[in-house]
Structure 1
């Protein structure tokens, strides 16, 4: 995927809020049209629930922690304006000029 210099039309604030509140669900990725990352987050959550349902609490916790770590990294990249939407456009704070 090529990186675009055009800024994302998606709201920076909405993306940060969705990541902060619903991070392990991947809602922020779907909002930013980054479908593969969104599906990966949902898949990890479903996997953790499946492990928990099978009585494998340790494995479920490990997968949830992996998903949470991924969310923290993405949240950080969003905050410092280094994350891009599904089309490679940077997700930036609105300019104050």
Structure 2
């Protein structure tokens, strides 16, 4: 739920692997209450971390637990599927 450029609530329902579920759960808690600009910055840093690029560890808080996923190419999609979904939802809300 996005209102006045603030993510008021995030929920997801589905069955997925542990990495996808954990990553999306962490993302949901991290982005809740953030402005769209703050959320986009966090999402950008998350993708940078997964891609092995420079990122702000403090900004990602608990999501840094996924920092080694990028070393396992077959798990990158798992760790980013929820993040890509919220990106699309943010774009649709604008």
* TM score, norm. by length of structure 2: 0.32
Structure in which a larger fraction of residues adopt strand: 2
* TM score, norm. by length of structure 1: 0.32
Greater length-normalized contact order (CA 8 Å, ≥ 6 residues apart): 1
Structure in which a larger fraction of residues adopt helix: 2
